[in-house]
Amino acid sequence: MNSILTTQSTIAGSLWPQHTANRWLRAVVLAVLGTALLWLSAKVKVDIGPVPVTLQTLVILGLGAAYGWRLGAATLMLYLAEGAAGLPVFAGTPEKGIGLAYMAGPTGGYLLGFVLAAAVIGYFAERGFDRNPFKMFAAMLLATAVIYLPGLAWLATLIGGEKAIQFGLMPFIWGDLIKAAMAAAIFPALWQFLKKN
């Protein structure tokens, strides 16, 4: 119970402490670096069926865990603002459109879920869940579900509930389990490395 109530440092907070003189500069630099990493992760695609799988959710959840809930969510909001402004930062852009028109399309709900998921995983990371592989795996699964809730709800309004499950959930389950397992291994290992150095 104590680990749920006590706020702890994040990876980013350990590497670049928040209480430095240039607090706003730190936040801006980390957010911009985060959006650049998100842009790259959205472009790495593996075609396994009707919908390609990207590294984007792994990076979203990794940023949330590394940054904490506030900076993680702010980074994702900056990413969405970049996309809304017409930058081709999302998966499938510019081929499938850009800007607000793209964001109102089939992936619009997932984009909202990205912000919520970064906040959720960041919240749990700030409470030490990223130091334990089992807790981190559970937190990753919860945050992944948070992406799917608005994503599937919005997709269902466009193509119907059954097709939303078929195309917006089923192709991604195994990939999301693998990504959760990767994060559950990587984050505790990073903390062990930081303790030794």
121: helix, strand or coil: helix
Q: Name the residue ranges covered by the structural domains of the chain.
A: 10-196
101, 85 in Cβ contact below 8 A? no
Residue-wise pLDDT tens digits, 129-164 = 999 999 999 999 999 999 999 999 999 999 999 999
Three-state DSSP class for residue 50: coil
% of the chain exceeding 70 in pLDDT? 92
Residues 50-88: tens digit of each pLDDT:
556 788 999 999 999 999 999 999 999 999 999 999 999
Let me know: does 179 contact 57? Beta carbons within 8 Å. yes
* Nearest of 122, 119, 150 to residue 136 by alpha carbon: 122
10-196: what fold?
Answer: Arp2/3 complex 21 kDa subunit ARPC3 (1.10.1760)
